Amino acid sequence: EPYRGRVRHFDASVLMGSGSHIAPTHGAVCAVPTVDTTPSPLPVSPWSPMRVKLFRAMWIASLASNVGTVMHTVGASWAMTSLTTSPAIVSLAQAAWTVPGFLFAIPAGALTDIVDRRSLITVTQVVGLVIAAAMGVLQVMGHLGVGPLLIGTFLLSVALTLSGPAWTAMLPDMV
């Protein structure tokens, strides 16, 4: 079991040896972290966290989300090339995706510390789903223009930027 902020009792004179000039503490509390040497019932491996059902589910969801994110960024850039021949406007699709990370990453971390993380993740993922679905419907209907594509990409990136710190902060609690 990894160190999780526990404070253990130990005698400092044991560390210093019998000839120590430091008075023994005899069970005094010391805030020096120590490693629990109790043998683990299961062998430790890089795949050990996958044994935890909740972590495994979140990892799979994260993998699916990341694949969807890459598909969106490629698809948005590709769709933009079919809407305009201007390289500057085509590059705005990538800018619309990356700018929210620069603008909102630090406020998103602060927001994560203030609100319930699970609720934040749920709300941002639902908002992202609605935005992506709306963009998909507009594309199928032939109504996805430069403006809606840039705005949708920007808003989708904002939603995912807001959920990122909450997602990361929850991981240690799951393993």
pTM of the shown model: 0.69
Residues 6+ positions from 159 with CB-CB distance below 8 Å: 124, 125, 127, 128, 131
Out of 4-13, 46-55, 119-128, least confident range: 4-13
> What region does 55 belong to: left with phi over 0, alpha with psi -120 to 50, or beta?
alpha
Q: What percent of the chain has pLDDT over 90?
A: 57
The single-letter code of the amino acid at 143 is H
Spell out the alpha helix ranges (H) of the chain: 12-16, 53-83, 87-114, 117-141, 146-174
Whether the CA torsion 81, 84, 90, 92 is positive or negative: it is negative
Give the separation between CA 42 and CA 88, rounded to whole angstroms: 55
Mean pLDDT of 145-167: 95
pLDDT at position 87: 94
Q: Which two tokens stand for residue 148?
A: 């809606």
Q: Which two tokens stand for residue 175?
A: 């393993």
Q: For the segment 55-89, what is each residue's pLDDT rounded down to a tens digit?
A: 888 889 889 988 988 999 999 999 999 999 999 99
29: which strand partners? 9
Q: For the segment 88-119, what is each residue's pLDDT rounded down to a tens digit?
A: 999 999 999 999 999 999 999 999 999 999 99
The single-letter code of the amino acid at 126 is V
**Which residue shows structure tokens 């966290």?**
49
